[in-house]
Chain A
């Protein structure tokens, strides 16, 4: 690809600057490295700039008829053109030089013009303009990436499950606060059949776009596994794990808890792929850890056998699921929120709605963190079993 010449506009009402430039830079003009344009006063210069947006560097005299150099500088500063100006003034004319610099001139030369100084100043100006151009291009690209991330965030948000209607049997509410535009945490809830509610919480290793892609795939695979032929949570996890392993060469993994609440009985059947154990908050303010199933995270070992366990929820009990963004949230002294703070806070929320549990826990974490930067996604979900569902057969 041929490099296009750098365009420089020279503005002077006398011929000497033009002659000097044409002569001294003739080799570089011939080689197509530099291209000079000429104007004879400020007004003409502005017109040339208008017609030639490729000009980024202007070399201008101050005293000229029609419009002087300083007035031109002022108008350039008000316009949107990204032009750098080098001003030429009489030796010792500090007052005009100061005015020019204050109006945004990039550098100045004094008369009589020393050719070496002219060349160095033009070189410096060109380098400066090129660096600015790179910075502007980079900024434009960043803006574009940021817009795409915003769109990705909207897509990710739209994939989250819709609120379930209020009813007498259960009450589910989740809260998620991503540390970046798109997150690596996932929650989901859905009906498997008319009486069984699936509840999912998960956390991908890493953050940002790679993690978000992985959560999106996992959500889709798990939903597909459930709708295909549901038997137990562990069967679904085994299928999802094998599918994730097939195409995962980067060793990204996901911790995931999948529970199925039978609304007829309050029994929660679950399998836990390496995720922080959820809690059961009982009506008498006890906070019980849901026993581990001792299973590996998803996505790294094909054929891994996942197991099921069951816990019994009594009417009014709340299952609380969370990611380590809650327990490992740090305050400004690098102190962690910890499981004990979580359990203590939960104990005070017995017999309240899922919305209140989710909101108060997230609020407590945010209050604890204070002004410290959020380093991880914060996600939790509360699912309360209200009363057994009677199903007419």
Chain B
């Protein structure tokens, strides 16, 4: 079966945080890629993560669960997870599920850095 690479996660390191640029679709079949990217940063001792969602096209409930786990993992390590640059239809998914109430969502990457 033909399988496009529908999700990739690129990590950029800065002084204050690791930025994870999430590109493509996060759903049940691709969520593992996001989970391992997060785990890799935590294992490397990077406990402050900024998720840049400007190129995120879709996120399913399995994806939301992965974000929740990321937020809890970073918190446990004494860090935090922030989420920025959500497209309108992604912001709506966060709103319907109520995740905008429990995750730290910022409009731009600069805003996310400002909140550290």
- Note whether A and B form a binding pair: yes
Residues of A within 8 A of B (CB): 203-207, 251-253, 255, 273-277, 292, 294-297, 300-301, 324, 328, 375-376
Q: A251-B68, A300-B102 are known contacts. Are A206 and B97 too (CB-CB below 8 A)?
A: no
Top 6 A-B pairs ranked by shortest CB distance?
A296-B98, A205-B61, A274-B97, A205-B65, A274-B98, A251-B69
Report A-chain residues with C-beta under 8 Å of the C-beta of B64: 205, 253, 297
B28 within 8 Å of A by Cβ? yes
Looking at the assembled complex, report how far the CB atom of B100 sits from the nearest CB atom of chain A, in whole angstroms. 9
Q: Which secondary structure dominates where chain B touches chain A?
A: helix
Contacts of A292 in B (CB 8 A): 95-96
Among B29, B62, B98, find the residue whose CB has the most chain A CB atoms closer than 10 A.
B98
Binding site for A on B (CB under 8 A): 27-29, 60-62, 64-65, 68-69, 72, 95-99, 101-102
Max chain A CB contacts within 10 Å: which of B60, B64, B68, B97?
Answer: B97
Chain B, residue nearest A373 (CB): B1
Nearest CB of chain B from residue A337's CB, rounded to whole Å: 13
Beyond contacts A294-B98, A296-B99, A375-B27: 5 other A-B pairs, Cβ-Cβ < 8 A, are A292-B95, A295-B98, A297-B97, A300-B68, A301-B102
Please measure, in the bound complex, the distance between the C-alpha atom of A205 and the C-alpha atom of B72, giving whole angstroms: 17
A273 to B101, CA, bound (A): 12
Determine the distance from Cα of A206 to Cα of B68 in the docked complex, in whole angstroms: 14
Is A253 touching B65 in the complex (CB atoms < 8 A)? yes
Q: How far is the CB of B91 from chain A (nearest CB, A)?
A: 13
Contacts of A301 in B (CB 8 A): 102
B28 and A253 form a contact (CB under 8 A)? no
Give, as a whole number of angstroms, the nearest-CB distance from B66 to chain A.
9
Closest to A301 in B: B102
| In contact, B72 and A296 (Cβ under 8 angstroms) | no
Q: How far is the CA of A301 from the CA of B99 in the complex (A)?
A: 11
Known: A205-B62, A206-B62, A252-B65. A276 touches B96 (CB 8 A): yes
